[in-house]
Homo-oligomer: A and B are copies of this chain.
Amino acid sequence: MTSQSGFAAIADRLEGQAIELPSWAFGNSGTRFKVFGTAGTPRSVKEKIADAATVHRFTGLAPSVALHIPWDKVDDYAALSAYAEDHGVRLGTINSNTFQDDDYKFGALTHVDAKIRQKAIDHHLECLDIMDATGSRDLKIWLADGSNYPGQADLRGRQDRLAESLATIYERLGADQRLVLEYKFFEPAFYHTDVPDWGTAYAQVTALGDRAVVCLDTGHHAPGTNIEFIVMQLLRLGKLGSFDFNSRFYADDDLIVGAADPFQLFRILFEVIRGGGYGPDSEVAFMLDQCHNVEEKIPGQIRSVLNVQEMTARALLVDSDALEAAQESGDVLGAHQVLMDAFYTDVRGDLAEWRASRGLPADPMRAYAESGYQAEIEATRVGGTQLSWT
């Protein structure tokens, strides 16, 4: 396969690819040991949106921004929406947060105390109000609920209470809204997590109804898990709602998507396409969920969406007919090679031309570096408090 002709055939399918950015990627983040601050970090939700819009301006890939409540709470969401639109982006998924209030020390939607569960439910209802105001489709729920010691918690009781709490929230969902439940293998709970795997998320959302789906965060699996298999399975079951993209070497490291294992990202995107999760007819949402602990934030986000785009192009390049033929004839090495041929194809030059032909910078990383934006925010964002996770 020559890259040239191959790329021409798939170029159109790259149109309209959208990867939602997390507002919190622009604030400071770190580990339990230390959060390093950097010059130019936003001090307001608007500044975060301005940064996200900058990523979109340089890449054309990131037309929306996910908000985290209460981190991104504002008085006037209409005004915030208008601000976003003025900057060329829109507000996207609303993420709830039930892990930073002292009341949630022993759980939120799963808590033994009905009052605390209600508080957590109410928080989600508030998120739904915000979604009504912003026009967001998705309420994404990631729960820190779990326990640290065997015996600390009644696993079964918590699972039942979780089902009940989710049902209450689901009932309030608008006709065009979705509840997206994220699972995570471990952390911050260290013995058990209430939604630790795709099976649990699947069982819970299936009990809720059609508008409840699963979010697959690529960093939230046990060592050695075949993530593309889960992608396939959730698409097959009609329950893959969205991706939180990032990458990891060991745990939920929240590194730049594609940085740790680019071939894995390729395989994931191949299964997305194979299963109908890509393109205008799919409702699968692509999002980033990453931390930029030591690298620059805006370039980190640009790098991330480019990585997804480049790998999508490679995955689109797979010669499906040749692949199927090799698979059906038991030609192990032949089938493998069809996949590798696409993976090893260097699409960077083609993509640079593709971007240029659409009025985008051929090299968004360089264009951003030369744009002066970073120097400007470092110079002007002085005083105030840099935003972070808290």
Which A residues contact B (CB, under 8 angstroms)? 3, 29-34, 36-37, 99-100, 102, 105-106, 112, 144, 147-156, 159-160, 185-188, 190-193, 196-200, 202-203, 221-226, 228-230, 232-233, 235-237, 248-251, 253, 255-256, 259-264, 267, 271, 274-275, 293-296, 299-300, 303, 310, 323-324, 326-328, 330, 332-333, 335-340, 343-346, 348, 365, 389
Residues of chain B within 8 A (CB-CB) of A202 are: 199, 202-203
Q: Are B152 and A332 in contact (CB under 8 A)?
A: yes
27 residue pairs of the A-B complex, CB under 8 angstroms, read A30-B188, A34-B99, A112-B328, A149-B255, A149-B333, A149-B335, A149-B336, A151-B340, A154-B274, A155-B232, A155-B274, A186-B249, A187-B250, A190-B248, A190-B249, A190-B255, A191-B226, A191-B260, A197-B198, A199-B203, A224-B250, A261-B261, A262-B340, A295-B333, A299-B333, A310-B344, A346-B346
A221–B260 CA distance with the chains assembled, in angstroms:
18
| Complex contacts, A248 vs chain B, CB 8 Å | 190
Chain B residues near A193: list those with CB within 8 A. 226
Known contacts A233-B200, A237-B203, A263-B263, A192 near B332 by CB under 8 Å: no
Min CB gap A370→B, angstroms: 14
Min distance, Cβ A27 to any Cβ of chain B, angstroms: 13
- Residues in B with CB closer than 8 Å to A192 are 226, 229
Nearest-Cβ distance from residue A150 to partner chain B, whole angstroms: 6
From B154, B256, B262, B310, contact of A324 by CB (8 A): B154
The distance in angstroms between the C-alpha atoms of A232 and B156, with both chains bound, is 6
Contact, CB under 8 Å: A327 / B152: yes
A149 touching B226, Cβ below 8 Å: no
Q: Which of B32, B223, B226, B235 contacts A31 (CB 8 A)?
A: B32
CA gap between A301 and B257 in the complex, in Å: 32
